[in-house]
Structure 1
């Protein structure tokens, strides 16, 4: 009788390209395909090890001489909003939240285009067309939701987040919002509301993607209480953001083979 052992995912490394967060840096990613019956378990497991999902791929930064990007999550049980965040909650209390299946709409895409044109016109997603947008939303092999926020008076869509459901929390894959409503701090509001959703569901964490000290685009995540970062194979509480820098060092990143060898995989048998 022949016995088959579960196969570990195959990992690959992207070619270096300009970093979208820090000037004069080159980024490189370690990635694997997310597919098959074990996709949900693999996403749950690798999310706890600093990976992020993009459609049918899981990836983690693996830059040759820089380790500035740190996976970040909020411990929902310990989170306490700041005075400013309480104002954001109050300011947006009237918005209507609607959770739907991961299905792209024209209204979402129109909002997405306004957001990119105003906030990230020179970013890597600036040329994304409606078909690529639909793929970003709809191509998911795991449990995902689109969380939409509407102005109840006009029934206008003002913010959207593509959210993955993990076994220990919510992962905010990508969010965008109405750029003309800057005063309402909708980006921060969606994080605060996801903390509330996780709390209601009894889930301990909200995963925010990567915190990048020194980056204007990604530095805001350190403003949230009870933030944890994934570093050297463990999650640790972020006590003082000023202790971290974006300095490069040729020994910042372990060799690829060593990184892969240290990844833990879920038992997908049965």
Structure 2
């Protein structure tokens, strides 16, 4: 006889400054992912808007604010637009490898360049090698790292230009954290390509969704997530399609940013 499934215990963090909307406070509700049912619990929580960080599942629980909205791409119905097709052709030479979740020095150096270019002074700016190893390796669920490399030359392994820590859930791929060579002009749109590669992989594997985390209304940094259609957002009544009108209310960056 197997042990009964235990309902998880949830905790709430203390309020802290919101990293996306100035002048607001953020708070999270979280629970631990451990034991033999960690994967099933993570799948169930993912469907109601939780995200994973190492051995913890969390979601925003901010007083008086509901700007953070869980979003997922419907992989089977996604059709690339003209700009996205151009990006896919531009980066078609990249060699993509699914690796076990094991941190490497090469990945860490790329992460440091990415943070310095895109998120200087952000919450991850002080991440050292041990912190990075914890983020990659401490996973109680089915996780892997996708590495994106330029073609090999002269028998040498190609340069690492992108990576993404990804969870395979029962109903899709969840992109936990991606980073790439953002400090160079050689690979514009690489972050968008990584998302499109995940959508293609999910569709090929028969998985219905790619989870992109939270779309933060009013945050220009998060506006890129609405480019992938059809997209669903999680509301009080469950998942529903994101309308074109809704997304147009948000600030937009250049398509190739």
Tell me the TM-score normalized by structure 2: 0.91
Structure 1, gaps ≥5 residues long: 247-270
SS of the residue corresponding to residue 20 of structure 2 reads coil
Report which structure shows greater RCO (CA 8 Å, sep ≥6): 1
Which residue of structure 2 lines up, in the alignment, with residue 171 of structure 1?
Answer: 174
**Mean alpha-carbon deviation: is it higher for 162-171 or for 211-220?**
211-220
Question: 8 Å contact 2:101–2:145 — kept in the other structure?
Answer: yes
Distance (Å, rounded) in 2 between the aligned partners of 1:6 and 1:179: 44
Q: How far, CA to CA, are the matches of 1:117 and 1:184 in structure 2?
A: 17
Superposition map of 1:203-222 within 5 A: 203-222=207-226
Map of 2:124 onto structure 1: 125
Query: In the alignment, does 2:22 pair up with 1:10?
Result: no
CA distance in 1, matches of 2:112, 2:39: 30
Residues 130-139 or 76-85, more deviating = 76-85
Question: How is 1:53-64 mapped onto 2 (pairs within 5 angstroms)?
Answer: 53-64=52-63
CA–CA distance in 1 between the matches of 2:138 and 2:219?
Answer: 29
Q: Could you say which residue in structure 2 is the equivalent of 1:116?
A: 115
Q: Classify 1:93/1:60 alpha carbon distance in 2 versus 1 (closer, same or farther; 3 Å).
A: same
The answer as to whether partners of 1:68 and 1:245 remain within 8 angstroms in 2 is no
* Correspondence for 1:267: none
Q: Is contact 1:222–1:241 with CA below 8 Å preserved after alignment?
A: no
Aligned to 2:160: 157
The question of 1:26 aligning with 2:29 is answered no
Which stretches of structure 1, 4 residues or longer, exceed 4 Å deviation after superposition?
A: 242-246
Change in 2 beyond 3 A, CA 1:204/1:242: closer
Residue aligned with 1:180, SS? coil
Q: Which residue of 2 aligns with 1:80?
A: 79
Q: Provide the secondary structure at the position in 1 that maps to 2:85.
A: helix
Question: Structure 1 residue 232 and structure 2 residue 236: aligned?
Answer: yes
The residue that corresponds to 1:189 in the other structure is 193
Query: Size of the alignment, in residue pairs?
Result: 244
C-alpha RMSD of matched pairs (Å): 1.7
